[in-house]
Structure 1
């Protein structure tokens, strides 16, 4: 059994895949396996995966019909055999000592999930260090969910800077119906499925995340309106935890609406207006627990010229 399973979903990254794989194969720490999941990529990615696998026995390749990044990651999870699991995007790179740092953290502490910091690279030029607020600390599952829903940084909603004990993920898979925000749903599911989980944060940046025009978060989408918040509520209700995190959930929904509307290009359907208005109403109702945070996001709303019109139209939709 390898110490670490590295799951890489691959789709239309012909220009970047070699750099990603080279950054992994040149790691100082060698006890790992790589699961390359070719998600029906129409370019030469599938062939490149096979060529790399032919050169290194630690690489396994899976070719599948296109189903999205979550389905590809799930296939990787189904076939992973390592003691620990991590995810790498196929257009990103790792620092040369990344796996060595991961292994040191594993051996040093009795943790279940380890969260490292990362570098964000925009257009290959601008570099920003994404640092955790809590330095080298262990956080409970409940506090982690609070942080996720309140957009506090220690856990972070992303999964590519995390290393998980594989035994924790037995009943956890990514939701393939969500295109933006699937990471945070997975995080919450892992935390709720394993109530005694211990998450350790480490400020050492070992991952290099490239923001490109084609990335999901940099493109405008209307498909996520109300969907992510609804999915989060479903997960909380599945584990009978919605009442426990009600205030945090509505704050999360409020922020999610705001960020979604900022990148919105098309109009909303009646159903979407009802979904969003319900979240806004709930946020106002349960906001007393976090008055400063709600005041801050509310101010951002009302500074936006479109918000007054949106709220009035939403109310008219509800009344109808």
Structure 2
């Protein structure tokens, strides 16, 4: 086998149904000098058997096994055994565009890049996907406006919402990483996390890299599966708090500026709220809100620029001082009112609160809002509180 130019690392757990398509997308690559390292992460299905059959006929396919330690540990295991000049991480139910490796690798060696960032296309599981050569989409060009076609570093990314909330800077896939840089920077997935592994891995690599560039091509076809980790409400939502503490320590380890720390804290405030609404089981919402309260109490506001935190987040932080039975509904509604969400959705939530909340809790909520209005505190949110009162008390 020729020395691989790219090592593709694929952590495997319960994906036997999709492996055939993924392997075909690898074998159809226009660049032939690659190795695919499948790491069986204690998977109980037939993935290992299927992959070993492929490996018998294609020496570029390598199958490793380990006890179930999670996706991050599986990727780390794959990197230790990789010999390619560049690394590409791929979930084994996703697909590579036919020219993904050729276009990203050619771009990488043009300027000896540490990181090459490409685009992705999402498709629903069960739909026919035909990965073919294509240019990157409108969103890619819009998001990287001013950064395309040149080498850049973190300081060149002035849109901080883009840096902290875009998949282009939050996940390890649809990117090529120089293996030497990855090893020199000691990039490893945090242990013991149920979420946020990608975020910390990519952010560390981004902050340390001196040569980042884009490639105008779709690299990955991302399969959206019902029942995947990102579509279920479960206790895993609480993993966002462990993610925060790992990230806070990483930023200290890297000696990042107060400005960068503030931006990171602001992002986590948004993610706490998003996880509360999207991923937390409803019966655990109060517990999740308590965890937000406890975590925000550990923020060192002397090191944070409140102007960067923003008005909406500061209002939310103040509400975290209220008992959860009162603070939670106000916290949610204020965040919704502060977002560009249709009023009808807000009214439905308020109607739900009115009709389903126990009377004694409802009375406490009304009393709490009245106390805020009468005390003159939190004047900036009084218009919102008055709207809430109006809809809760109307017949």
Q: Report the TM range for the smaller structure's normalisation.
A: 0.7 to 0.9
Counting strand residues as a fraction of each chain, which structure ranks higher? 1
Partner of 1:243: 258
Aligned counterpart for 2:176 among listed residues 140, 148, 163: 163
Pick closer, same or farther for the CA change 1:100–1:200 going to 2, 3 Å: same
Question: Structure 1 stretch 144-153 or stretch 182-191: which is displaced more?
Answer: 144-153
Aligned counterpart for 2:25 among listed residues 23, 26, 40: 23
Structure number, greater radius of gyration: 2
Quick one: distance in 2 between partners of 1:165 and 1:145?
24
Partner of 1:81: 83
Aligned counterpart for 1:226 among listed residues 223, 226, 241: 241
CA contact 2:12–2:43 (8 Å) conserved in 1: yes
C-alpha deviation, 1:49, in angstroms: 1.2
Counterparts of residues 135-150 of structure 1 (less than 5 Å): 135-143=148-156, 147=160
Counterparts of residues 30-69 of structure 1 (less than 5 Å): 30-69=32-71
Matched, 1:131 2:140: yes
Partner of 1:175: 190
Matched, 1:120 2:122: yes
Pick closer, same or farther for the CA change 1:144–1:162 going to 2, 3 Å: farther
Pick closer, same or farther for the CA change 1:62–1:8 going to 2, 3 Å: same
Pick closer, same or farther for the CA change 1:112–1:225 going to 2, 3 Å: closer
Matched, 1:287 2:287: no
| Long gaps (5+) in structure 2 | 130-135, 317-330, 338-345, 354-364, 369-395
| Long gaps (5+) in structure 1 | 313-320
Paired residue secondary structure (2:335): helix
CA contact 1:250–1:286 (8 Å) conserved in 2: no
Quick one: distance in 2 between partners of 1:137 and 1:114?
11
Partner of 2:280: 264
C-alpha deviation, 1:295, in angstroms: 8.9
Partner of 1:317: none
Paired residue secondary structure (2:69): coil
Question: Structure 1 stretch 241-250 or stretch 182-191: which is displaced more?
Answer: 241-250
Superposed CA RMSD: 3.4
Counting helix residues as a fraction of each chain, which structure ranks higher? 2
Q: Deviations over 1:192-225 (max 9, x none)?
A: 4x3x522112342121001112322222233324
User: TM-score scaled to structure 2, two decimals?
Assistant: 0.69
C-alpha deviation, 1:258, in angstroms: 1.5
Quick one: distance in 2 between partners of 1:249 and 1:236?
9
Paired residue secondary structure (2:262): helix
Question: Structure 1 stretch 6-15 or stretch 122-131: which is displaced more?
Answer: 122-131
Pick closer, same or farther for the CA change 1:15–1:302 going to 2, 3 Å: closer
Displaced runs of 4 or more, over 6 A: 295-300
Pick closer, same or farther for the CA change 1:74–1:154 going to 2, 3 Å: closer
CA contact 1:211–1:218 (8 Å) conserved in 2: no
User: TM-score scaled to structure 1, two decimals?
Assistant: 0.84
Quick one: distance in 2 between partners of 1:233 and 1:149?
20
C-alpha deviation, 1:91, in angstroms: 0.3
CA contact 1:53–1:60 (8 Å) conserved in 2: yes
Partner of 2:296: 277
Partner of 1:301: 335
Pick closer, same or farther for the CA change 1:117–1:275 going to 2, 3 Å: farther
Pick closer, same or farther for the CA change 1:288–1:167 going to 2, 3 Å: same
